[in-house]
Amino acid sequence: MAESIHDVQHRISSTKATRQITAAMHMVSTAKLNKIQKHTAGYQEYVSKIKSVVMRLSQSQLFDNSSNKLQADRPVKKTAYLVITSDRGMVGSYNSSVLREANEFIDKQTPNPDDYMILAVGGTGADFYKNRGINVAYEYRGVSDVPEFNEVREIVKTVTTMFDNEIFDELYVCYNHFVNRITSSFRGEKTLPVDRETLAGEAVSETPTSNLANDYETEPSAQEVLDSILPQYAESLVYGAILDAKTAEHASSSNAMQSATDNADDLISDLQLHYNRARQAAITTEITEITGGQEALKN
């Protein structure tokens, strides 16, 4: 019985140590979540404005007469899917949810594996597709907890160059959208080419298209305006998706660590009850043995 009590004590100590780790990780994840939410709030204003400008331009003849490479309208021979996951574990069901939903989305959009490629942001997604023999044409690991815009420039430059070189003909971005601290939802958004079909899914509510004019005066020229604004638009979509995905990742990590901490508390409580019962049983046995010894001496 003494050995059993010792084992229970060891399990209680181990669980308490684990609880300290999960509680600390919960605090860290919550701090990261708060930080990225503040960072994202300021960026949303920029995104809203640039989307509004592009939406207005899409209603004009400038858009139709443009020769910008990001608007290239060609037959779709190869589709690329930019799948955003995390680089690490201990984020609850975040990665499994993204990959499951992304696979369903890809199967629906492009059933033949030979007709698509994966562009992976995050080590979990890259490893997942590589292990299954799926073509991972590009991968980016080590995205910061609160990614800065300059980090995304490398990703966007690579993606747009691949599109310009006709390595793929259209691009979808797949990620988990942050709804609130408890909930996230999958999104699969078409990003390239930048055409009216793509922009229809990115419509800005505060931009009433019915009131838009069809003609604009441009300086220095219509083509130069679009050559400047469309890359910024593509950057904003990819950067916004990565920020959104990172926010959902931190929320999932915070929830997972909170659940682990709560489970540890429950387990410690159960083990403590088991320990007290075992200790009481050991004491009762000792008293019985002493009493029995005393009675034996009397006889």
**Edge-to-edge order in the sheet of strand 79-84:** 136-140, 116-121, 79-84, 170-178, 184-192
**pLDDT at position 181:** 86
Strands (E), the chain: 79-84, 116-121, 136-140, 170-178, 184-192
| Apex 142 CA angle, 43 and 26, nearest 5 | 75
Q: What token pair was written down for 93? A: 């069901």
pLDDT in tens, 225-259: 777 888 888 888 889 899 999 999 999 999 999 99
**pLDDT at position 136:** 93
Local confidence band at 39 (pLDDT 50, 70, 90 cut-offs): confident
Quick check: 79 and 170 in contact, CB under 8 A?
Answer: yes
In this prediction the pTM is 0.81
Beta bridge partners of 189: 173
Q: Which residue has the higher pLDDT, 142 or 206?
A: 142
Quick check: 173 and 189 in contact, CB under 8 A?
Answer: yes
**pLDDT at position 90:** 85
pLDDT of residue 202 exceeding 70, the answer is: no
Measure the CA–CA gap between 124 and 239, rounded to whole angstroms: 19
Where do the domains of the chain lie, and which CATH numbers do they carry? 2-27+259-298 (1.10.287.80), 29-210+217-255 (3.40.1380.10)
**pLDDT at position 213:** 43
- Residue that is written with structure tokens 């055409």 in the block: 195
H-state helical runs in the chain: 2-58, 61-64, 94-109, 123-131, 149-164, 196-200, 222-298
Among the listed ranges 40-49, 63-72, 131-140, which one has the minimum average pLDDT value? 63-72
Beta bridge partners of 184: 178
Measure the CA–CA gap between 57 and 178, rounded to whole angstroms: 29
Quick check: 186 and 196 in contact, CB under 8 A?
Answer: no
Closest Cα partner for 225 from 60, 76, 100, 105?
Answer: 60
Quick check: 190 and 198 in contact, CB under 8 A?
Answer: yes
Q: Which residue has the higher pLDDT, 102 or 153?
A: 102
Quick check: 282 and 5 in contact, CB under 8 A?
Answer: yes
pLDDT in tens, 214-228: 455 667 776 777 778
Closest Cα partner for 188 from 201, 203, 178?
Answer: 201
